[in-house]
Amino acid sequence: MTALTVKDEPTPKTGKPFGLERAYDALIEMISYPFSHQQSLATLGIECPKGILLYGPPGVGKTFLVSSVANQYGAKLLVIHGPELYGPYVGESEEKLRLRFKQAQDLASDGSHPVILFIDEIDALTPRREQAQSHENRMVAQLLTLMDGTVKQGKFVVVGATNRPNAIDPALRRPGRFDREVHVDAPDTATRKNLLASQMRSMPLDPGLSLAFVDELATRTNGYVAADLTALCREATYHAIHQQAQQQRPIAVTMSSFQMAMAKIGPSMHRGYQVAVEKTNWDDVGGLAEVKKQLKQAVEWPLVYKSTFLRLGLKPPRGILMYGPPGCSKTTLVKVIASISGASFLSINGAQLYSPYVGDSEKVIRETFQRARASAPSIIFLDETEAIVGKRNLGQGGGSSGDSVQERVLSTLLNEMDGVETAENVLVIGATNRPDMLDAALLRPGRFDRLIYVPPPDVDARLDILKIHSRKTPVSDEVDLRVIAMLTEYYTGADLQNICREAAMMALRRDPDAEQVTMQDFEEALATIPPSITQDILDSYNDTTAATH
């Protein structure tokens, strides 16, 4: 016997749930209007809606929203969890579903309370019939029949919830069945602040925490849904309890408690897509002042000066392509952006993209952009862009053959970046050392708006890089890093890092008990490691830069 939850006593009225106001209003309207405007609806001959479909990422509060509306308006709530209806015998599942509808209609028959029949995870109950098994097809047909024959309209509403709306049979998604579809969005910064403040009211916070702390935490938790924020606060409290047990002091949740919690609780929307990036800042990249300036303007300014952008009618760039010789800190610059921007960061590389199954690669692109849009502002990083999307092969008539996986991936990326579906607040950053291998359709405004050349470091930049990579190495006073910087023309940042590492290895080979790295060790390292680039390579990039401008 399947358990049935019935709630028929209204609880004290509360305010609208944070971040769910639009969906809350839609539900309240469908439940309350048939009661408050009964005479007007009858006079106008208007049929009351029968169903509403709530869809959105897992953990945003769809189930909580339905419970809140039922409590607020004093509605009787019947809950069906999709998979629980299936039985081992033919016809048993359909009979259980008919019984649920009959119970809901019986409760609505007295007309004193509205009744909500809530079907959670409805995609498990009614999948697309062309992809479903026979017993699932029968369940879909039964639900269609029951919703068409629903009586007591206006007093009995069916609410479905899912995080996979496209997996539901299309016959359900039409007026007369699920009349309305409401997207429950992931919380924005202001909503996350309210949710965190609400959770923290019952937490033993350290008196030293300021109000600005909640603002900072709300900014840093981009991509977190309501369930993630609840888990984050719970984990921070656990950490405070653990600290109290170790140090014998009163329980107090501190900033470090939340930092430890964030290391364990990540945004659930990004699982399988999020990348772990080491914490870096602009000072960890030597030189490249002009490149840093352009990246700050493209990434940080739209977030910091959002109101100014709106006032001036400015739109942030859709995409940025960084190109230059290998080892010149393109990927490192992206790591910095991921660390300090506060935006959701997702990455796509060729290894995870290509699959032996037709359509899988394009699906990865689409799903990544869907997650990025849901957790905007967000950044999508395409490393080694030329390996992911190269040039299309033109046939005799000048058209693309379109038969390779790479061409289909390119077509999908073009549509996602600048297609029919908008991708606002989603920035695509590409990095490549072969810009000549990219399709011209990518390199136009609206897709990769800015092309930024990342040159090899000059003398001052090489000095900065040497200082950065030798700051944890005990270097003797005789070592003159400026001299080494002048001797390393055509060396990239990766080459200079390798020189610092090799010099330390030379000191170890010379004396296992060596305490310092000498100038001789650096000279031997220079003799061992040649530069990665030549003048011919630089000339080819200069030609590309001149062509793009």
The rounded distance, in Å, linking the Cα atoms of 286 and 361 is: 36
Stretch 31-45: mean pLDDT:
74
Read off the pLDDT band of 352 (50, 70, 90): confident
User: pLDDT (tens digit, 9 = 90+) per residue, 501-535?
Assistant: 999 998 888 888 888 888 888 888 888 988 888 88
Nearest to 200 by CA among 184, 185, 215: 215
Mean pLDDT confidence for 170-188:
86
Look up the CATH number of the domain holding residue 233: 1.10.8.60
Domain count, the chain: 4
Which has more pLDDT, 30 or 63? 63
pLDDT confidence band for 7 (50 / 70 / 90): very low
Q: Does the pLDDT value for residue 5 go beyond 50? A: no
CB 324 within 8 A of CB 433: yes
Encode pLDDT of 357-410 as tens digits.
Answer: 777 888 888 888 888 887 778 888 888 888 888 777 655 444 555 457 888 888
How many whole angstroms from its chain centre is CA 388? 20
Q: Could you tell me which residues are beta bridge partners of residue 379?
A: 345, 427
Pair 178, 172: CB distance under 8 Å: yes
In this structure, the answer to whether residues 493 and 423 fall within a common structural domain is no
Could you say which of 269, 299, 332 is where a domain stops? Answer: 269
In a domain, 533, yes or no: no
Same domain, 28 and 88: yes
Q: What DSSP state is assigned to residue 46?
A: P
More confident residue, 446 or 151: 446
Segments forming the whole domain that contains residue 496: 459-528
6 band by pLDDT with thresholds 50, 70 and 90: very low
pLDDT at 3: 40
Residue 254's nearest CA partner among 215, 198, 210, 196 is 210
Per-residue pLDDT band for 199 (boundaries 50, 70, 90) equals: confident
Asked if residue 421 and residue 347 are part of one domain, the reply reads: yes
Residues 261 and 295 in one domain: no
Q: What is the pTM of this model?
A: 0.74
The amino acid at 482? R
Task: Looking at the structure, tell me whether residues 294 and 348 fall in a common domain.
Answer: yes
CATH code at 165? 3.40.50.300
Element (H, E) at 7: strand 5-7
Judgement on whether residues 319 and 434 belong to the same structural domain of the protein: yes
Distance of CA 44 to the CA centre of its chain: 46
pLDDT tens, residue by residue, 462-489: 899 888 888 888 888 888 888 888 988 8
pLDDT at position 275 over 70: no
In a domain, 545, yes or no: no
* Helix H or strand E segment including 26: helix 21-36
pLDDT at 154: 55
Average pLDDT value for residue range 298-306: 80
**Burial class of residue 464, CB neighbours in 10 A (0-12, 13-18, 19+):** buried
Whether residue 549 lies inside any domain: the answer is no
- For residue 473, the model assigns a pLDDT of 85
Q: How confident is the model at residue 355 (pLDDT cuts 50, 70, 90)?
A: confident
Does some domain include residue 397? no
Q: What is the pLDDT of residue 410?
A: 86
Q: Nearest 5°: CA angle at 323, between 319 and 326?
A: 140
Out of 64-68, 71-75, 120-124, 230-234, pick the least confident: 71-75
Residue 537 within a domain: no
Q: How far is CA 465 from CA 287, 335, 404, 481, 487, in A?
A: 7, 16, 42, 10, 14
For residues 333 and 312, membership in a common domain is answered with yes
pLDDT digits (tens, 9 = 90+) for 53-109: 999 888 888 988 898 888 888 888 999 986 778 878 888 888 989 999 988 888 888
Q: Report the C-alpha gap between 309 and 207 in whole angstroms.
A: 38
> What pLDDT score was predicted for residue 232?
92
Q: Helices in 167-250 by DSSP H: which ranges?
A: 189-200, 211-220, 226-247
Q: Which pLDDT score is estimated for 156?
A: 82
Answer yes or no: is pLDDT of 249 > 80. Answer: no
